[in-house]
């Protein structure tokens, strides 16, 4: 009997599940997500996937070694504000830190046009009510020196008031706790003792970094969502156990690694990108299979377009992210988003300019072509009008779907006012949205010093395959890859992750570039690196039962010129303790990376450098990576995969043309398809443009390249 691993990605509506065994077999299951009763959805999906491998759910679970899980429980909790009532205890005199939000919190995450709507830009609803905040006197300064002892009476009185008001979680966040957490720890101990059932967290337990607004906000979001995550995980654990699975459950974290569910219970804020990050980890793994280490990942769904980057085999991360208009200072894989998806509304402004999004029509009534009464044309309607997407692919959910509705909507709202036919208008809409997506990819690559020509572009998500051959060509990616499990790609990717534990600590050491580095600085840097390395390794507790390769420790230091707000993460490769020369090397690497980011000559040889934060990542590589069976290579003739033809509007000099349709699952590696052509995947279509060639590689990926390139 084979060993199995299961990966379940619970989205808003569906639960995507991928089942693999150690012989290279893989199967997919999709079910309705049942967050309150996860057993139902998961067991159904396991059953579907097991059946595809001629197995039953019970035997799969009995022989399952690992369960991976990506969750939207925390993200949904944040959007719908279903977290628990959370109170805040902070330094007296600074009770309004969240409300003031460095002024910028009100407009963070708004796009160019939203920013211009002065009367409509209310801040996101606060997570902590103004009435649930208690200031307590006590003060550290920026060096971590205590100026005033913590007022324990005020702490007790404040916390008691909050508890009596009904808060279920309390965050303790004091000024300069990153420099000296003593007051926060003192308050935590006292309150945990006094209110043993209350959920209590210190800001430095979540994000030990300078910047009270971001740190407090991060801790508040975390405490607010922790109980939701705990409840979900315990439901899930019971569901699996009662069906015979007793192994570890690994939760996907925003940082790009998984962690046993016991370790993330109190770190819900690290799971906010749990699903989307799965795609990037999957891209990393596919890159490894096909020998590509630079990958642009693009995920186009119904409402948004997400772009991530893998460089040199590693996902690009950032120390701060904006999630649902909240600035959070937890390290995460960097994902840039714009509101452009299949369901994005297409409209004309007062001057007749064609606009796409950011408003989305949602799933009901959805795009006009669904036939549910939607009158607003969408990007998907444009795809349908042109013949790229056949409405029969929606028939599983929308029986009345028809191209006629799409044509009517595009004609009415866009074509007629501009004097264009429906297909001309739809063609224009696609060019505009594809170029906006290309602009976002440029932002993620070119703006950070990367040439898209050195990258493979990977496309997934419901609408990604239908658009990637356009935006991928626009940015000049060296090839475009559509993986075989594009519609459940996050679930696929989550199972490719390794265990990762991360710890961050403030360094805050300023170094003059032209003078000798003082002994104290060398000492401090080494003390902090050693401490966080130990803390990260300590997370591998005695009860840690996952068998993987030996843990690897990775250290890095975020460096900037003094005063800058953006840091560059410089890897620490030398063994600890670092000597002066090793620190000088770090500075040289910093200048090199700086010039790469901002252009040659941007770095200053004289300005003082500051070592800001240090990070320790412990990685435990897992043996569970999916190793597909390589398919045999056939000849170039794709005709066996041809399933028919339909009329497609390609624009320009081609116009309408009866276009061959191929089925991706019938294609053999080596088959070559020249555009114009359509390749149908599970519920979507990839248009191959005139100057493009498509083939399938031995791992089942669809690969599209520019025809002019030497192959």
Partner 1 sequence: MTHPIEVDINPVDQSFTPRVDRVTYEILKHRLWQINEEQATTIRRVSGSPIASEVQDYNVGIATAEGKLVACGMSVLAHVTALSHVIKNCMKIIGEGKLRDGDMFITNDPWMGAVHQNDVALVAPIIIDGALVAWTSSVIHHADVGGPVPGSWNLDAYDAFQEAPRYRFLRIVRDGEIADEVMATLMTNSRTPALAELDLRAQVAAAGVVRRRMTELFDKYGAQIVVDVMADSLRDSEIMLRNRIRALPDGVWKTEEHVDHDGHSDSLTTIRLTLTKSGDTLIFDFTDSDDEAAGLINCTRPTLESGPFSAVLTHLCAGMTWNEGIMDRIRIDSRPGSIVDCNFPAPVASGVINSGWAALDASAAAVARMMLDGQESRKLTMAGWAGAPYGVNIFGKRENGRSFATMLGLSGLQGGGARSFADGYDAAGYLHSPRCGAMNVETAEARFPILHLFRRLAPDSGGAGQYRGGRSVEMAITSHGATQAEVIVTSFGSDHSGSPGLAGGMPGAGALGALVHTKSDSTGLIRQCADRSTTLSAGDVKSLPSKARVALNSGDVFLSVTHGGGGFGDPRRRSVDAVAQDLASGAVTGEWAARLYNVHMASDGTIDIDETNRLRQAPVQADDGRPLTQDELPVTLPQNCPHCEEPLWGQNGKASTPLMTTADLAAAGPLIAARVAGISPRFRLVTLSCAQCAGRIEVFQQRIDK
List binders of partner 1 among 681-700 (CB under 8 A): none
Residues 503-522 that bind partner 1 (CB under 8 A): 508
For 442-509, the three-class secondary structure string (H helix, E strand, C coil) is HHHCHHHCCCHHHCEEEEECCCHHHHHHHHHHHHCCCEEEECCCHHHHHHHHHCCCCEEEEEEEEEEE
Nearer to partner 1, 349 or 710 (CB): 349
Per-residue burial over 380-414, b if 16 or more Cβ lie within 10 Å, else e, is bbbbbbbbbbbbebbeeebeebbbebbbbbbbebb
Question: Least distance from C-beta 311 to partner 1, angstroms?
Answer: 18
Residues 230-269 that bind partner 1 (CB under 8 A): none
Three-state DSSP class for 651?
coil
For position 347 contacting partner 1 by CB under 8 A, the verdict is no
Strands 64-70 and 4-10: parallel
Binding mask 447-466 for partner 1 (x = CB under 8 A): x-------------------
User: Strands, E, within 497-629: which ranges?
Assistant: 499-511, 552-561, 568-572, 609-620
Largest CA distance in the chain: 82
Which of 2, 147, 375, 549 contacts partner 1 by CB under 8 A?
147
User: Are 656 and 647 in contact, with CB atoms under 8 Å apart?
Assistant: yes
For position 123 contacting partner 1 by CB under 8 A, the verdict is yes
Nearer to partner 1, 104 or 711 (CB): 104
Which of 196, 312, 399, 563 contacts partner 1 by CB under 8 A?
563
Q: Exposed, middle or buried: residue 214 (CB in 10 Å: 0-12, 13-18, 19+)?
A: buried
Which of 32, 79, 148, 629 contacts partner 1 by CB under 8 A?
148
For position 50 contacting partner 1 by CB under 8 A, the verdict is no
For position 85 contacting partner 1 by CB under 8 A, the verdict is no
Which of 47, 428, 465, 483 contacts partner 1 by CB under 8 A?
428
For position 592 contacting partner 1 by CB under 8 A, the verdict is no
For position 418 contacting partner 1 by CB under 8 A, the verdict is yes
For position 99 contacting partner 1 by CB under 8 A, the verdict is yes
Question: Least distance from C-beta 224 to partner 1, angstroms?
Answer: 20
Which of 606, 632, 652, 710 contacts partner 1 by CB under 8 A?
606
DSSP string across 301-357: -SS-EEEEEEETTEE-EES-EEETTEEE-S-EE--EEES-STTEEEEE-TT--EEEE
List, in order, residues 6 or more apart from 573 with CB less than 8 Å away: none
Q: Taking contact as CB under 8 A, which single stretch among the options 256-264, 310-318, 451-459, 605-613 is the one that binds partner 1? A: 605-613
Which of 13, 103, 291, 396 contacts partner 1 by CB under 8 A?
103
Residues 199-218 that bind partner 1 (CB under 8 A): 210-214
Question: Least distance from C-beta 429 to partner 1, angstroms?
Answer: 8
For position 112 contacting partner 1 by CB under 8 A, the verdict is yes
For position 157 contacting partner 1 by CB under 8 A, the verdict is no
Nearer to partner 1, 188 or 444 (CB): 444
For position 194 contacting partner 1 by CB under 8 A, the verdict is no
User: Are 501 and 539 in contact, with CB atoms under 8 Å apart?
Assistant: yes
Question: Least distance from C-beta 515 to partner 1, angstroms?
Answer: 13
DSSP string across 282-312: HHHHHHHHHT---EEEEEE-SS-EEEEEEET
Q: Is the Cα dihedral 128, 129, 135, 141 positive or negative?
A: positive
Nearer to partner 1, 95 or 262 (CB): 95
Which of 198, 598, 625, 670 contacts partner 1 by CB under 8 A?
598
Q: Taking contact as CB under 8 A, which single stretch among the options 376-384, 524-532, 536-544, 556-564 is the one that binds partner 1? A: 556-564
For position 476 contacting partner 1 by CB under 8 A, the verdict is no
User: Are 140 and 175 in contact, with CB atoms under 8 Å apart?
Assistant: yes
Distance from C-alpha of 415 to C-alpha of 384, rounded to nearest angstrom: 15
Q: Taking contact as CB under 8 A, which single stretch among the options 60-68, 112-120, 285-293, 628-636 is the one that binds partner 1? A: 112-120
For position 139 contacting partner 1 by CB under 8 A, the verdict is yes
Question: Least distance from C-beta 129 to partner 1, angstroms?
Answer: 9
Which of 564, 672, 674, 691 contacts partner 1 by CB under 8 A?
564
Distance from C-alpha of 664 to C-alpha of 501, rounded to nearest angstrom: 39
Three-state DSSP class for 524?
helix
For position 109 contacting partner 1 by CB under 8 A, the verdict is no
Residue 127 gets the label, from left (phi > 0), alpha (psi -120 to 50) or beta, of: alpha
Three-state DSSP class for 78?
helix
Which of 37, 59, 353, 364 contacts partner 1 by CB under 8 A?
353
For position 351 contacting partner 1 by CB under 8 A, the verdict is yes
Give the DSSP H/E element, type plus range, for residue 76.
helix 73-80
Question: Least distance from C-beta 547 to partner 1, angstroms?
Answer: 43
Size of the site for partner 1 (CB under 8 A): 78
Which of 2, 32, 79, 100 contacts partner 1 by CB under 8 A?
100
Phi, psi of 331, rounded to the nearest 5 degrees: -65, 140
For position 372 contacting partner 1 by CB under 8 A, the verdict is no
Question: Least distance from C-beta 19 to partner 1, angstroms?
Answer: 42
Distance from C-alpha of 369 to C-alpha of 401, rounded to nearest angstrom: 5
Question: Least distance from C-beta 291 to partner 1, angstroms?
Answer: 30
Question: Least distance from C-beta 165 to partner 1, angstroms?
Answer: 11
For position 93 contacting partner 1 by CB under 8 A, the verdict is yes
Which of 421, 436, 530, 589 contacts partner 1 by CB under 8 A?
436
For position 107 contacting partner 1 by CB under 8 A, the verdict is yes
Tokens 């459950």 belong to 249
For position 359 contacting partner 1 by CB under 8 A, the verdict is no
Nearer to partner 1, 214 or 695 (CB): 214
Distance from C-alpha of 307 to C-alpha of 471, rounded to nearest angstrom: 12
Report the alpha-carbon angle 665-470-332, nearest 5. 85
For position 183 contacting partner 1 by CB under 8 A, the verdict is no
Nearer to partner 1, 193 or 349 (CB): 349
Nearer to partner 1, 350 or 519 (CB): 350
Distance from C-alpha of 69 to C-alpha of 59, rounded to nearest angstrom: 20
For position 523 contacting partner 1 by CB under 8 A, the verdict is no
Distance from C-alpha of 387 to C-alpha of 382, rounded to nearest angstrom: 9
Distance from C-alpha of 37 to C-alpha of 31, rounded to nearest angstrom: 13
Question: Least distance from C-beta 595 to partner 1, angstroms?
Answer: 10
Phi, psi of 503, rounded to the nearest 5 degrees: -135, 135
Phi, psi of 52, rounded to the nearest 5 degrees: -65, -25
Question: Least distance from C-beta 563 to partner 1, angstroms?
Answer: 4
For position 135 contacting partner 1 by CB under 8 A, the verdict is yes
In eight-state DSSP terms, residue 385 is: H
For position 115 contacting partner 1 by CB under 8 A, the verdict is yes
Q: Could you tell me how many residues make up the chain?
A: 711
Q: Taking contact as CB under 8 A, which single stretch among the options 19-27, 428-436, 523-531, 658-666 is the one that binds partner 1? A: 428-436
For position 336 contacting partner 1 by CB under 8 A, the verdict is no
Helices (H), 195-297: 203-206, 212-242, 261-264, 274-290
Distance from C-alpha of 380 to C-alpha of 370, rounded to nearest angstrom: 10
For position 106 contacting partner 1 by CB under 8 A, the verdict is yes
């Amino acid at each position: 009997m084979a060993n199995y691993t299961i990966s379940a990605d619970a989205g808003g509506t569906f639960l995507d599940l991928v089942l693999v065994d150690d012989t290279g077999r893989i199967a997919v299951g999709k079910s309705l997500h049942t967050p309150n009763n996860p057993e139902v959805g998961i067991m159904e999906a396991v059953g579907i996937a097991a059946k595809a491998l001629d197995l039953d759910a019970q035997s799969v679970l009995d022989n399952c070694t690992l369960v991976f899980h990506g969750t939207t429980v925390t993200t949904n909790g944040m959007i719908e504000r279903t977290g628990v009532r959370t109170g805040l205890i902070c330094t007296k005199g600074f009770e309004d830190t969240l409300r003031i939000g460095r002024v910028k919190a009100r407009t963070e995450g708004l796009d160019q046009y939203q920013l211009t709507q002065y009367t409509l830009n209310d801040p996101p609803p606060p997570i902590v009510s103004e009435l649930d905040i208690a200031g307590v006197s006590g003060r550290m300064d920026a060096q971590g020196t205590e100026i005033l002892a913590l007022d324990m009476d005020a702490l007790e009185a404040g916390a008691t008031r909050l508890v009596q008001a009904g808060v279920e979680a309390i965050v303790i966040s004091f000024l300069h706790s990153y420099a000296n957490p003593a007051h926060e720890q003192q308050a935590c101990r006292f309150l945990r003792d006094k209110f043993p059932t209350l959920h209590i967290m210190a800001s430095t337990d979540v994000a030990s970094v300078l910047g009270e607004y971001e740190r407090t906000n991060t801790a508040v979001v975390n405490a607010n969502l922790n109980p939701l995550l705990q409840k979900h995980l315990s439901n899930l654990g019971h569901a699996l156990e009662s069906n015979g699975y007793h192994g570890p459950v690994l939760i996907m974290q925003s940082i790009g690694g998984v962690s046993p569910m016991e370790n993330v219970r109190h770190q819900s804020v690290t799971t906010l990108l749990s699903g989307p990050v799965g795609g990037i980890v999957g891209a990393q793994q596919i890159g490894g299979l096909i020998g590509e280490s630079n990958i642009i990942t693009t995920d186009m769904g119904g409402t948004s377009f997400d772009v991530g980057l893998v460089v040199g085999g590693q996902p690009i991360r950032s120390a701060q992210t904006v999630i649902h208009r909240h600035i959070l200072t937890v390290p995460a894989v960097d994902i840039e988003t714009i509101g452009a998806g299949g369901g994005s509304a297409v409209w004309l402004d007062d001057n007749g300019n064609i606009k796409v999004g950011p408003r989305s029509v949602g799933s009901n009534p959805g795009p006009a072509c669904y036939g549910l009464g939607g009158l607003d044309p969408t990007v998907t309607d444009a795809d349908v009008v042109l013949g790229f997407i056949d409405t029969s692919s929606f028939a599983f959910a929308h029986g009345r779907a028809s191209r006629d509705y799409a044509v009517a909507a595009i004609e009415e709202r866009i074509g007629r006012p501009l004097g264009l036919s429906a297909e001309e208008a739809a063609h224009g809409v696609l060019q505009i949205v594809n170029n906006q997506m290309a602009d976002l990819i440029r932002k993620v690559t070119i703006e950070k010093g990367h040439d898209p020509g050195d990258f493979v572009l990977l496309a997934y998500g419901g609408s990604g395959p239908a658009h990637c051959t356009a935006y991928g060509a626009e940015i000049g990616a060296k090839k475009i890859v559509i993986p075989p499990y594009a519609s459940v790609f996050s679930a696929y990717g989550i199972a490719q992750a390794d265990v990762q534990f991360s710890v961050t600590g403030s360094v805050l050491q300023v170094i003059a570039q032209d003078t000798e580095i003082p002994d104290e600085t060398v000492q401090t840097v080494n003390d902090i690196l050693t401490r966080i390395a130990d803390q990260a390794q300590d997370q591998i507790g005695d009860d840690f039962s996952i068998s993987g390769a030996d843990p690897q420790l990775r250290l890095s230091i975020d460096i900037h010129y003094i005063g800058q707000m953006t840091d560059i993460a410089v890897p620490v490769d030398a063994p600890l303790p670092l000597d002066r020369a090793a620190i000088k090397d770090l500075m040289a690497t910093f200048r090199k990376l700086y010039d790469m980011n901002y252009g040659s000559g941007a770095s200053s040889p004289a300005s003082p450098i500051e070592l800001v934060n240090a990070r320790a990542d412990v990685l435990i590589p897992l043996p569970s990576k999916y190793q597909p069976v390589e398919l045999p290579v056939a000849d170039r003739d794709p005709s066996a995969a041809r399933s028919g033809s339909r009329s497609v509007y390609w624009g320009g000099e081609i116009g309408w043309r009866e276009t061959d349709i191929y089925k991706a699952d019938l294609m053999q590696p080596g088959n070559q398809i020249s555009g114009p052509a359509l390749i149908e995947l599970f519920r979507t279509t990839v248009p191959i443009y005139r100057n493009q060639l498509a083939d399938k590689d031995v791992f089942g990926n669809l690969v599209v390249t520019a025809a002019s390139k030497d192959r």
